[in-house]
Chains A and B, each alone.
Chain A
């Protein structure tokens, strides 16, 4: 090798060059082997996520209950008069409806010219009497004619919305608060009408909260505004409308 490098002509540079390239390639190869040995062993020992999924002998100590929010026993209308203590007087549905003939085919809220002027019905092909009970306006009615308390409204909804009801029962619809572990604490769940207005059940569009940008100082007022407004439509809204 010495005899080549002593020369300074072009061929010696080329020779050196080939050797340099050769050395580089060999080193890269050796290094790759080394790194591979170092890093792959751990990968094999990685535990699978399904570890013990089926054969786990699970002791389910349920000390607490899941409770479902119940709607008011039946809606009421708030009157302008107040009682002895200054509390507003309320009237139940039957107060007015017992004196009027039910209109079994009415399904258009715009035709309500005397009462419930702000009520909007936009719930499939349903008419008022699909759910309301002409026999007892303080109760609801199932499809088979059976009378149903307002508190059990979910049963009424479930008649049509089977998949949603199934999801709800399995915890993947409707939300919850409290404990996932019922051995440690209770859980509270919404009912359908906590979130869906039964007359216009589709979720209302609204401005999203909490924009993700880095600097939002000037947007904070808007945030608080939206926060204070509940998005939960409610059956008791009827009261406010009167």
Chain B
């Protein structure tokens, strides 16, 4: 057994046999776990299937099933897309300390951030696909096969950076896990350049996504230079907030040891970013309302309602309240010791920014319309179902990713440790059977 597994390290490993084995073991790992895990995955699968069905009906019957109109032509899907780009970009806040500044403890857990980036990126792509009127023509957007309107269309930039970021993170995660699985030391040549590229790339995904909106002269609400910095600031709150929550869950449900140090760095990043974000929101609000004029119509609609239309007012004030409360809790000097408060703060920040970046940013850009018609928008049941489905699918990817990564990283699963791992697995069903 041990001689077998030591063989690859002695001679160059045969990737044609070891890689499929890695994939197979990953699949086994991904589908094994406690009853709680099965319940969680079943729930997510069910929610995903609801989303899949709603989407299939939407494709068949047309997007009339959504509440979008020619006036408000983007809704919940693009709102979530924008937010998830931020979450993916926020994950880089683990990569920068880990690789650029060689923070050892962060380096140990950085894979969580990379897996989050992968999951969030896949969600982004799904949110774009469900927003397409003709998903069957997706191939028109592929370079060389279709007609790729690059570099003029900002959306083509977004396609490049989103897919590029997904591939970069898939490569980094895949490579590191595979090498660890082989029980070898990663060769920096094969991943460090990609890590550095991914740092630049993470910033770019959110900047380019902001450019999608702020480059439109006909939409004064979006047409502000502050949009990209605001996006980044909120991304660097939402991403780390989710990561802190994820790390707490991992600590609880696995034997992956995570120290307080990485969390402390993330909390510090959130502290700075959330204040910068709030400052920028205040500057926007001041500029809009002190200047007045026709351009404030959207902001007026968002914050206070316009001519009796106020569908978004409760949303945005919830968001502002959540963000401000979260900012106060984060300011607490030793918040890291108070896990309960930390969790609350992260959840509040996450919800607050989800509203602000989503419904609070995309929808008011369309209200009033370019001809100043006020057509209100709230998502339809189909939109909620599809959105929930994509979220469930994203969480599934994240769970599965962690499920594979953690045993490999904690060296429960490498070629040397396989037998030990299997013994552990035998224990689990017995325990749950007793339940």
CB pair B265–A13 under 8 Å, yes or no, is yes
B382 interface residue (CB < 8 Å to A): no
CB pair A19–B200 under 8 Å, yes or no, is no
CB pair A1–B204 under 8 Å, yes or no, is no
Interface of B, secondary structure class, is helix
CB pair B100–A19 under 8 Å, yes or no, is yes
How many whole Å from A143's CB to the nearest CB in chain B?
46
How many whole Å from B398's CB to the nearest CB in chain A?
23
Of A1, A8, A17, A30, which contacts B269 at CB under 8 A? A17
How many whole Å from A175's CB to the nearest CB in chain B?
25
How many whole Å from A35's CB to the nearest CB in chain B?
6
CA distance A191 to B97 in the complex (A): 81
Which parts of A52-67 form the interface with B (CB within 8 Å)?
Answer: none
Which parts of B235-265 form the interface with A (CB within 8 Å)?
Answer: 236, 261, 264-265
CB pair B204–A2 under 8 Å, yes or no, is no
CB pair B228–A1 under 8 Å, yes or no, is no
In the complex, what residues of A have CB within 8 A of residue B69's CB? 214
Q: Which of A13, A14, A21, A24 has the most CB of B within 10 A?
A: A24
B50 interface residue (CB < 8 Å to A): no
Of B93, B96, B157, B229, which contacts A35 at CB under 8 A? B157
How many whole Å from B230's CB to the nearest CB in chain A?
12
CB pair A19–B101 under 8 Å, yes or no, is yes
In the complex, what residues of A have CB within 8 A of residue B154's CB? 39
Q: Closest residue to A32 on the B side, CB-wise?
A: B207
CA distance A237 to B235 in the complex (A): 72
CB pair A24–B203 under 8 Å, yes or no, is yes
B272 interface residue (CB < 8 Å to A): yes
A42 interface residue (CB < 8 Å to B): yes
Contact mask for chain A residues 22-46; partner B; CB cutoff 8 A; 1 contact, 0 none: 0110011011100100110010000
In the complex, what residues of B have CB within 8 A of residue A28's CB? 203, 207, 228-229, 232
In the complex, what residues of A have CB within 8 A of residue B150's CB? 38
Which parts of A5-25 form the interface with B (CB within 8 Å)?
Answer: 5-6, 8, 13-17, 19-21, 23-24
In the complex, what residues of B have CB within 8 A of residue A17's CB? 265, 268-269, 272
CB pair B151–A20 under 8 Å, yes or no, is no
CA distance A144 to B211 in the complex (A): 69
How many whole Å from A226's CB to the nearest CB in chain B?
23
How many whole Å from B90's CB to the nearest CB in chain A?
11
How many whole Å from A17's CB to the nearest CB in chain B?
5
CB pair A23–B261 under 8 Å, yes or no, is no
Size category of the A interface is: 20 to 34
Contact mask for chain A residues 155-172; partner B; CB cutoff 8 A; 1 contact, 0 none: 000000000000000000
Also in contact, A21 and B272, with CB within 8 A (given A16-B97, A35-B157, A39-B151): yes
In the complex, what residues of A have CB within 8 A of residue B103's CB? 5, 16
Also in contact, A30 and B104, with CB within 8 A (given A17-B268, A35-B211, A38-B157): no
In the complex, what residues of B have CB within 8 A of residue A23's CB? 96, 100, 199
Q: Closest residue to A41 on the B side, CB-wise?
A: B151
CB pair A31–B232 under 8 Å, yes or no, is no
How many whole Å from A4's CB to the nearest CB in chain B?
8
Contact mask for chain B residues 195-228; partner A; CB cutoff 8 A; 1 contact, 0 none: 0000110011001100100000000000000001
Interface of A, secondary structure class, is helix
How many whole Å from B253's CB to the nearest CB in chain A?
25
In the complex, what residues of A have CB within 8 A of residue B36's CB? none
B102 interface residue (CB < 8 Å to A): yes
Of A5, A27, A35, A39, which contacts B101 at CB under 8 A? A5
CB pair A39–B152 under 8 Å, yes or no, is yes
In the complex, what residues of A have CB within 8 A of residue B93's CB? 20
Of A8, A14, A27, which contacts B268 at CB under 8 A? A14
CA distance A142 to B284 in the complex (A): 67
Which parts of A179-220 form the interface with B (CB within 8 Å)?
Answer: 214
Q: Closest residue to B373 on the A side, CB-wise?
A: A212
Q: Closest residue to A42 on the B side, CB-wise?
A: B152
In the complex, what residues of A have CB within 8 A of residue B228's CB? 28
Q: Closest residue to B64 on the A side, CB-wise?
A: A214
Of A2, A14, A16, A31, which contacts B207 at CB under 8 A? A31
CB pair B272–A30 under 8 Å, yes or no, is no
How many whole Å from B395's CB to the nearest CB in chain A?
27
How many whole Å from B280's CB to the nearest CB in chain A?
14
CB pair A27–B151 under 8 Å, yes or no, is no
CB pair A27–B199 under 8 Å, yes or no, is yes
Give 24 pairs: A residue, B residue, CB < 8 Å, sorted on A.
A1-B102, A2-B102, A8-B261, A13-B268, A16-B101, A16-B265, A16-B268, A17-B269, A17-B272, A19-B100, A23-B100, A24-B203, A28-B232, A30-B200, A31-B203, A31-B204, A35-B207, A35-B208, A38-B150, A38-B151, A38-B157, A39-B151, A39-B154, A214-B69
Sorted nearest first, the 10 A-B pairs with minimum C-beta distance are A38-B151, A27-B203, A5-B103, A31-B204, A16-B97, A27-B200, A13-B268, A20-B96, A8-B261, A17-B268
